[in-house]
Amino acid sequence: MDTNTKIYIAGHKGMVGSAIWKTLTSKGYNNLIGVSSSKLDLRNQQAVIDFIASEKPAVIIDAAARVGGILANNNYPYQFLMENMQIQNNLINSALQAGIEKFIFLGSSCIYPKLAPQPLKEEYLLTGELEPTNEWYAIAKITGVKTCQAIRNQFGKDYVSLMPTNLYGTNDNFDLNTSHVLPAMMRKFHEAKVNNHAPVTLWGSGTPMREFLFVDDMAKAVVFALENKLPDYLYNIGTGEDLTIKQLAETIQKITGHQGEIIWDSTKPDGTPRKLMDISKMHALGWKHQVQLEEGIQKTYNWFLQNATKFKEVKM
């Protein structure tokens, strides 16, 4: 891949998109395109068609999505289903119409069945029922994966889907109403520490197991897919290691310096019991994560402290 190649990163201001942009820039790529949502509404089909036809990128990386945790998925099922399908369908179809040969679609491990065998293999897709707390987002992402596969099969284009495990890191979302578990915990522990080490109440039992990948490692996986023609249509991206939510909470508590009590609210849902990714396909091709969890959480907390003024009502 030539460093002058014109690459459009959809969602370039988000956590994943900004990490991809940073990683590509560090490798010398100098023809990157990004447009804010205020200037290009990716839900608007004609606007996306016109933009792609005008800019003529050689590659599209789709890191744009409406995302959130259990609470947001439960409260806005229609938006999570419809808006994500609109965004990805407009981008994928416009890329096909414009003759773009390479498209990288980013999804989530929630595409796999709730009770699939562990670790999750790519071939488990569509073999069972989804986790109800995020099925709307999952269904949208599944349609994106299958759309890229259909184009790959029918037109022979290099359209590939990367399914990351739970991502976290710099530029994460720390809004307690819409954030994922790790940044939500980080903010709760930080604010409780500032508030004389007050108790922290967390959802569920603490027993579900989760895997977490630092966003810079995800960005490197995207660049790997960019610079290589991957032989299959779907790849898991993760660490291959997981821990309980209780262990995660204790790790974040230690890094933030909170010394108060942790209270588990068992009336709240746990979500999927376990979601560990089988990442052997990507390992076999040569990609592997580099940032370990405790190091990544420390980097994320450092960034959080430096950027706390961006978040509403964060106590310092």
Catalytic residue annotation? 137
Q: In this structure, are strands 158-164 and 262-265 parallel, antiparallel, or unpaired?
A: unpaired
- Give the dihedral of Cα atoms 268, 278, 64, 5; nearest 10 deg: 160
Q: What is the pLDDT of residue 25?
A: 98
Q: Is the pLDDT of residue 316 over 70?
A: no
283 is in an annotated binding site: no
Tell me the fold of 7-307: Rossmann fold (3.40.50)
Q: In the numeric block, which tokens belong to residue 269?
A: 């849902």
Query: Can you give the pLDDT at residue 134?
Result: 85
Question: Is 15 buried (19+), middle (13-18) or exposed (0-12) by CB count in 10 A?
Answer: buried
**pLDDT of the residue at 178:** 74
- The answer to whether 156 is a known ligand-binding residue is no
Percent of the chain with pLDDT strictly greater than 70: 98
pLDDT reading at 186 higher than 80: yes
The confidence score (pLDDT) of residue 315 equals: 64
The residue with greater pLDDT, 126 or 70, is: 126
pLDDT in tens, 71-92: 777 888 999 999 999 999 999 9
Q: Rounded mean pLDDT of 224-250? A: 97
Domain boundaries, the chain: 7-307
Q: Are 16 and 67 in contact (CB under 8 A)?
A: no
| Residue 180 marked ligand-binding | yes
pLDDT by residue (tens digit) across 266-292?
999 887 788 899 999 999 999 999 999
Q: Is 270 annotated as a binding residue?
A: yes
pLDDT tens-digit series, residues 6-30 = 999 999 999 999 999 999 999 999 9
More confident residue, 161 or 132: 161
Q: Is 188 annotated as a binding residue?
A: yes
% of residues, the chain, pLDDT over 90: 85
- H helix intervals, 203-244: 215-227
Phi, psi of 165 (to 5 degrees): -75, -165
> 199: annotated binding-site residue?
no
Best CA proximity match to 55, nearest among 5, 17, 20: 5
- pTM for this entry: 0.93
Give the 3-state secondary structure of residue 231.
coil
* Per-residue model confidence (pLDDT) at position 71: 75
Task: Output the pLDDT for position 176.
Answer: 81
Q: Is 42 annotated as a binding residue?
A: no
- To the question of whether residue 66 is assigned a binding role by annotation, the answer is no
